[in-house]
Amino acid sequence: MLKNKTAVVTGGTRGIGFSIVKTFLDNGANVVVCGSRQETVDKALAQLSAYEGRVMGACPDLCDPQAVGAAFAAAKEKFGGVDILVNNAGVSSRTSLYDYTVEEFGKILDLNVKALFVCAQAAARIMKEQGGGVILNTSSMVSEYGQPSGSAYPTTKFAVNGFTKSLARELAKDQIRVNAVAPGVTATDMVAALPKEMVDRISAGIPLGRVGQPEDVANAFLYLASDQASYVTGTVLKVDGAAMT
Ligand code: NAD
């Protein structure tokens, strides 16, 4: 579904991002795996040795336009362009309003929102020149319901939806489609870090009767990245088993 396409996936070293990377590679794409540290990028690349020649790593500071620009330039140099950006890196939070510091709240906003802007700007510049592309963002089910603590996290995911819908309208004239995927509870490290009672409570309210797997989410990204979704832009696709928590 993605033959001859090149994708940049942030937060691609583990969890949902790693599953997106594998799914895209299995569907013929070249992929740039972005992570926060060289060590984790190298670890991910070691697991992807079967795809040698179609995969490369990068670990730019996602809020630094120069570092991100350099990573995109390297991708373009190696693969001839960038067709798909997946803004997936994100950090969760459980801190109460009373305990948040401005620094902690700001750090979550930086990675979950500011980095999306920086990466989208770098990607769109290349895509516009190429005649089109696809930008995909990872939202969350909390972008609809909020959550009872860690308010910075849902705040950022509401912002992801707004950014997605606005960019879709702004970039349509450049043939750049912009969509988001909103996963429900998905079996990754982020979920493993949540208190068990919370995961159980959430899982009990999922009509499909199970927590999502990273592959469930990756397949939604695959569809939206592909030409199968050529008339789909500005949407937030829920992949949450109809959870309403
Ligand atoms: P994860 O913690 O397993 O992976 C997070 C990824 O983000 C890693 O690859 C990590 O390298 C990267 N990352 C973290 N901090 C970074 C930084 N400062 N700079 C660059 N990269 C950084 O998380 P996950 O569960 O796979 O989550 C991926 C995305 O899915 C996030 O945007 C998250 O909000 C969203 N999401 C997850 C769930 C879930 O249940 N797991 C549900 C809804 C949405």
**H-type helices in the chain, by residue range?**
15-26, 38-46, 65-79, 102-109, 115-130, 142-145, 152-171, 189-192, 196-204, 214-225
98 flagged as catalytic: no
pLDDT at 159: 98
Q: What's the CA-to-centroid distance between 88 and ligand 1, angstroms?
A: 6
Q: Is 241 in the pocket of ligand 1 (CB under 6 A)?
A: no
Structure tokens given for 40:
């984790």
Element (H, E) at 183: strand 176-183
If one residue of 10, 36, 202 were mutated to test the ligand 1 pocket, choosing by the most ligand atoms within 8 A of its CB, it would be 36
- Cα separation, 138 vs 163, whole angstroms: 11
What is the position in ligand 1's atom list of the atom closest to the CA of 10? 21
Q: Is 189 in the pocket of ligand 1 (CB under 6 A)?
A: yes
Pairing of strands 84-87, 55-58: unpaired
Q: What's the CA-to-centroid distance between 131 and ligand 1, angstroms?
A: 30
- Cα separation, 201 vs 133, whole angstroms: 39
Residue nearest to atom 32 of ligand 1 (CA): 90
pLDDT tens digits in sequence order for the chain, 245 residues long: 999 999 999 999 999 999 999 999 999 999 999 999 999 999 999 999 999 999 999 999 999 999 999 999 999 999 999 999 999 999 999 999 999 999 999 999 999 999 999 999 999 999 999 999 999 999 999 999 999 999 999 999 999 999 999 999 999 999 999 999 999 999 998 778 888 888 888 788 899 988 999 999 999 999 999 999 999 999 999 999 999 76
Q: Is 212 in the pocket of ligand 1 (CB under 6 A)?
A: no
